[in-house]
Amino acid sequence: EDKVVQSPLSLVVHEGDTVTLNCSYEVTNFRSLLWYKQEKKAPTFLFMLTSSGIEKKSGRLSSILDKKELSSILNITATQTGDSAIYLCAVEAPPGTYKYIFGTGTRLKVLA
Amino acid sequence: NAGVTQTPKFQVLKTGQSMTLQCAQDMNHNSMYWYRQDPGMGLRLIYYSASEGTTDKGEVPNGYNVSRLNKREFSLRLESAAPSQTSVYFCASRLAYNEQFFGPGTRLTVL
């Protein structure tokens, strides 16, 4: 059965800290992995990683795909209180079906 | 561009009542999705429509029906609401193999 597992489930850090969030997956014929940030309402898109694009960066956020380990990490450097949110990982499964399987998310709280 | 819109934003139902959640997108996306989100459960796919005229079940379709009315609109119907269907419902859309865009959500409570 295809599945996506995120860790840790929750995390509390202080402003300025660096955090690493993990996503591991078991899917047949991997095509893409997405990261989303969810504050109070709808998830907003951060990154898409594919076989041809295994590393993405935007400002203080970066993400890497490890196809050998079937996992991805999301790094946030110099965290700010505005980074407090649930971070969701999703993997397309099976390829070509247009369906995504979401992990349960990591709840990040950044203290001032 | 309004993106993905959902109505209503909030709804309270009694057990056994029916209702339809509406979703529309103005981005000319082919695929549309309905998810529910419960505490500690992440987003679970209820139904999706890969293209106009097609619908398929997701992980948790029991108790729900959908209609892809046209390319823009995808509705979710609860025929006989149950307390287990208390949740936040998100609609999403997607163009080909790009990212999904989500609507603002509908918070549904079934008493």
pLDDT in tens, A36-70: 999 988 999 999 998 777 899 999 999 999 988 89
Looking at residue A96, its pLDDT comes to 66
Residue type, B88: V
Cβ contacts of A98 on chain B, cutoff 8 Å: 31, 48, 50, 94
Looking at residue A30, its pLDDT comes to 82
Looking at residue A95, its pLDDT comes to 65
- Under the banding of pLDDT at 50, 70 and 90, the label for residue A18 is very high
Looking only at the bridges linking them, the beta strands covering A106-111 and A10-14 are parallel
A80 touches chain B (CB under 8 A): no
Q: Across all residues in chain A, what is the average pLDDT?
A: 92
Residues B99, A48: C-beta atoms closer than 8 Å? yes
Smallest Cβ–Cβ distance between B42 and the set A34, A41, A88 belongs to A88
Cβ contacts of A37 on chain B, cutoff 8 Å: none
- Given a contact cutoff of 8 angstroms between Cβ atoms, the answer to whether A102 and A5 are in contact is no
Looking at residue A2, its pLDDT comes to 83
Count the Cβ atoms, other than its own, within 10 Å of residue B90.
Answer: 25
CA distance B100 to B33: 9
A51 vs B64 pLDDT, higher one:
B64
A48 touches chain B (CB under 8 A): yes
Q: Which of B97, B101, B106 to mutate to test the interface with A (most CBs of A within 10 A)?
A: B97
Looking at residue B42, its pLDDT comes to 85
Residue B68 pLDDT more than 70?
A: yes
Instruction: Report CA torsion sign: B31, A92, B100, B22.
Output: positive
CA distance A3 to A14: 31
Residue range A13-18: mean pLDDT, rounded: 98
How many A-B residue pairs are in contact by the CB < 8 A criterion? 48
Q: Helix, strand, or coil here: B45?
A: strand
Residue range A86-98: mean pLDDT, rounded: 83
- Under the banding of pLDDT at 50, 70 and 90, the label for residue B80 is very high
Residues B97, A32: C-beta atoms closer than 8 Å? yes
Determine what percent of chain B is predicted with pLDDT higher than 90: 86
Nearest one of A31, A44, A24 to A100, comparing CA atoms:
A31
